[in-house]
Structure 1
Amino acid sequence: MPSFPQFSPTRLRSYVLRLPFCTRVLVVAILGLWIATIPFPWVREFGKLEPAKMDLTQMHRLNLFPLMHLNFFHMIFNLLAVTPLLERFESEYGTLVSLALFTGPFGTIPGGIYTLLEKFVLRSNTIVMGASIWVFLLLSAEVMKTHKTNPNFSVGPYKIPTWTTPLILIVVTSALVPNVSLIGHLCGAGLGYVWATGHIKFLVPPEKILRWIETKLNLLGRLPHYVSVDQKTYGRYGVLPSTSVPLSNMPRSPEPGQRLGP
């Protein structure tokens, strides 16, 4: 009999407590806004992306719609899907980069493209909301890395390109789940593919500015589970604990030129 991993509340608690800072902020924002819509339904109306209402006075919708959800099940399923992807992204790029992208371009660009397609191409007004647009964005970016080492996977006699996996999931989701926006998910996946190519890395603030902000505000010391932009120097969660042993007393490499640390 095959053995399946059992659900462990202790492991779940440990995982949640280890989530990096930006991921926590976004998860709390999604939960908080859903809770706020219970006594105040107008919050959902304020944040949902409705193409017909979009003008210069409604630009906040492009930032808020990934955080808004239709109901509890919509919210919880999206949270379960997006949290590990956000955690992986933040661990790779850092907290400041993640905050800059997910409160800005990663919402406004796919949302803006979707709005233009709906208003001027499809002549429709399909309302969208939910973090699933981030799910497919991050999946597309991740699968492009996998594609480099594993270009294909086999399904029976067929070899399917690995990079098409998010597109297959989008089509299947649209077919099986009601009230799902195929165009919205494709806009998110499209931006993920472009991000993976490196052509839009200019969306990230310059590294010198990010380092200056980290140092000036002492973010490594003040924010718990903060991921530094310079992970090569600081590691995942900042400076690692060290002893008071002088560097002159530390053992050195027997081979000249071999580096043993930062």
Structure 2
Amino acid sequence: MPSFPQFNPARIRSYVFRLPLCTRVLAAVMICLYIATIPFPWLREFGQLEPAKMNFTQMHRLNLFPLMHLNFFHMIFNLIALTPLLERFESEFGTLVTLALFTGPFGTIPGGVYTLLEKFVLHSNTIVMGASIWVFLLLSAEVMKTHKTNPTFNVGPYKIPTWTTPLILVLVTSFIVPNVSLLGHLCGAGLGYLWASGYIKFLVPHEKILRWVETKLNLLARLPHYVSVDQKTYGRYGVLPTSSTPGAPLGNMPRSPEPGQKLGP
């Protein structure tokens, strides 16, 4: 008989307690906002992205719409999909970078592009909300790393480019899940491709500024589960420091077999 993995609440509890700080905060905000919309349903209308209402007095919607959800199942499914991706991103780039991006350009840019396309190209007013735009953004960024080591995967006799996986998921989701925004998901995925390709790395605050803030406020010592600029899993942009001297030690850090070679996907 095949053995199936058993549901283990202790492992889930351990995983949740190990989540880095910004991932915890964003997840908690999503849950709290959903709970708040039960007695105050007007909060959902206040935060949802409605293209027809967008003007300079409604810019808060670009920051709030990924955090708002239509109902409990919408919120919980997005939370389950987003948490491991966001945790991986924060472990790689640090808490300050994650906070700056996901409370700023990772919401405003895809939301702004979506609004412009809806208003001036499609002449429509489809309302969107939910963290799925971040899910496809992070999926696109992750799959671009995989694409470098595994450019294709096989489906029967066909070879499918690995980088197209999020686009396939966007299409499948739009067919099988009711009331999802194909355009909104594509806007999120597009920004993820740009991020992974390095075209928008300028959105990240300069490392000297991040180090100054961390040192000045002593964030690493004061905040539990905080991920420092210097203590991320893969270094600032996924590359470990290496030495040009073959015998130069790197302490406890694993070293590439060739000087300057990137480790991992």
> Which TM-score applies when normalising by structure 2?
0.89
| Correspondences of 1:42-53 after superposition (within 5 Å) | 42-53=42-53
The one of 249, 252, 263 aligned to 1:258 = 249
TM-superposed deviation, 1:122: 0.1
TM-superposed deviation, 1:257: 4.1
| Correspondences of 1:72-111 after superposition (within 5 Å) | 72-111=72-111
TM-superposed deviation, 1:230: 1.5
Which residue pairs with 2:5 in the alignment? 5
TM-superposed deviation, 1:120: 0.1
Code of the aligned partner of 1:222: R
Larger Rg: 1
In 2, Cα distance between the equivalents of 1:256 and 1:146?
30
User: How many matched pairs?
Assistant: 243
In 2, Cα distance between the equivalents of 1:7 and 1:78?
20
> More helix per residue: 1 or 2?
1
Unaligned runs of 5+ in 2: 236-245, 254-265
TM-superposed deviation, 1:260: 2.7
Which residue pairs with 1:248 in the alignment? none
Which residue pairs with 2:41 in the alignment? 41
| Counterparts in 2 of 1:232 and 1:113: CA distance versus 1, 3 Å | closer
| Counterparts in 2 of 1:53 and 1:222: CA distance versus 1, 3 Å | same
Which residue pairs with 1:186 in the alignment? 186
In 2, Cα distance between the equivalents of 1:122 and 1:232?
42
| Correspondences of 1:148-159 after superposition (within 5 Å) | 148-159=148-159
Unaligned runs of 5+ in 1: 236-254
Say if 2:8 is the partner of 1:17: no
Which residue pairs with 2:241 in the alignment? none
Which residue pairs with 2:238 in the alignment? none
| Correspondences of 1:1-262 after superposition (within 5 Å) | 1-231=1-231, 257-261=248-252
In 1, Cα distance between the equivalents of 2:82 and 2:185?
13
Q: What root-mean-square deviation, in Å, do the aligned CA atoms of Structure 1 and Structure 2 show?
A: 1.7
| Counterparts in 2 of 1:259 and 1:161: CA distance versus 1, 3 Å | closer
In 2, Cα distance between the equivalents of 1:166 and 1:212?
37
Code of the aligned partner of 2:193: Y
In 1, Cα distance between the equivalents of 2:250 and 2:65?
48
What percentage of residue pairs aligned between the two structures are identical? 82
Which residue pairs with 2:243 in the alignment? none
